[in-house]
Amino acid sequence: MDGQLWNDEHIDVMFYYFQKKAKYDTSSGYTFTTVDCIFMPKIDVIAKAYAELDGAATNIGNLEDDLCEYVKGHRLLCTVPWHLVDNVLIPVNMKDKNHWLLAVLSFPDRSLYVYDSYRSAGHGAAVKIEIDKLATLLPIFLHLTDFCDAKKDIDLTSHPAYKGKAMADKLDVVFVENMPQQILGSMYVNL
């Protein structure tokens, strides 16, 4: 496998396996679902459109509908609606670095956890831009899909992570520290 690059199809196959495992293996206490590699490009387009609108109200139509379909669990095979799980695994491709990182949307913590095995000059700023898009847009789409009404296992009025926050407020972001790091130019990490 040395010398081969991971591409979108590899990521989608791995995440399809995770979706099947999450949906059909009920023995685990960790409940999650995933999105595919098309999710982030849609976030990018919507973030750009919102920025160009400069706060003006509008509907970006099909792309917004597509993201709502992810939240409802209708977009992918073997996925479940987001209100039935505690976490959503989101692969994020840093195209200019040919690198993938993992963002985990945690509903119990109302946070976005970022797992990144690559550190270099300028990389952190690029990651922050991508993650900010998610932290800003995901709450909006949760609100549009009436996620609050459907998520019965968290009392959104008294839970400490939600108390005093509007559903559409930006998510807290946690960059997970002490991750094993990739060797420059390699797909492998130093353990």
Give the pLDDT confidence of 83-137 residue by residue, as tens digits.
999 999 999 988 776 778 889 999 999 999 998 877 765 678 888 999 999 999 9
Q: Distance between CA 21 and CA 89 in Å, rounded?
A: 13
The total number of residues shown for the chain amounts to 191
Asked whether residue 43 is domain-assigned, the answer is yes
Q: What is the DSSP string of 72-141?
A: HT-SSTT---GGG-SEEEEEEEEGGGTEEEEEEEETTTTEEEEE-----TTHHHHHHHHHHHHHHHHHHH
88 within some domain: yes
187, 118 contact by CB (below 8 A): no
Our count of domains for the chain comes to 1
**Highest mean pLDDT (candidates 60-64, 129-133, 164-168, 180-184):** 129-133
User: CA torsion angle for 44, 6, 17, 28 (degrees, to 10)?
Assistant: -80
Residue 183 lies in a domain: yes
Q: What is the pLDDT of residue 116?
A: 86
CATH of the domain at 62: 3.30.310.130
Reported as a single tens digit per residue, the pLDDT across 45-67 is 888 888 877 655 555 667 788 88
When the pLDDT of each residue in the chain is averaged and rounded to a whole number, the result is 79
Q: Confirm whether 61 is domain-assigned.
A: yes
Is position 104 within any domain? Answer: yes
The reply to whether 2 falls in a domain is no
Q: Is residue 82 included in any domain, yes or no?
A: yes
Structural domain includes residue 76: yes
- Look up the domain containing 39 and give its range: 8-190
Return the CA Rg of the chain. 17
